[in-house]
Structure 1
């Protein structure tokens, strides 16, 4: 069952710059992000964990960025979770344009999964962020109400 999903995503990614690699619990789909400049490279990986018994999967973005600075310095960063962004660039003479959207890879994987009846679950980090966001929102609302009560004329 998971082999079928992998094959479907692989077929959908054919003739694109996405590369697939099997992992112990699913697969990674990786792409080099274009258009970031001469001194910056970025690799975006969509890590897909499959749960074949339930026909569910989770998807986590892993974005690795390497920036080379002056005097041989460099900075490497890694972001995990749900990372959304878009890049675009144009050559100096305007003849070549490149663009990238992190949503495109997600759509490719979701489309293939949906065709086969698979359902996406939120990764644990996404659930935690939702809980903390709700708590923060409720705290802000409570603070605003308290301020309104205290300073109401």
Structure 2
């Protein structure tokens, strides 16, 4: 079981956001498009990439995910047509776990977090946000992922 911490937070400023329904292969294409957009507009990534999956439709040949990709950048911009700009992304009162390993074992980290929430009577109020500590574009072996997973919980004691 992974080590789980409470009352954690994560904050990023000047965040480029893309949310849409995409397949895993399209998600990789979108990451490349974002990198190209940053380069073409003289923008620099200033922090780790953050992803969140809100829903999955697995009734297709390749699962379709309602996914958001967030990239912290070095300055404020006006929102381009394809993306949204967020002044700040801040998750508070979260449970946190560090996942080190392959994408195939990430579900075990999620399961540990969900079990922890249930055992501690915590009310989940956000989806899981994956903060990629080792850049997912670094072309390092997939079994070398380092992801901080945050799930926001209701801070009220009911």
Alignment TM-score, normalising by the size of structure 1: 0.23
Structure ID, larger Rg: 1
Q: Which has the higher helix share?
A: 1
- Whose relative contact order is higher, 1 or 2, with alpha carbons under 8 Å and at least 6 apart? 2
Q: Which has the higher strand share?
A: 2
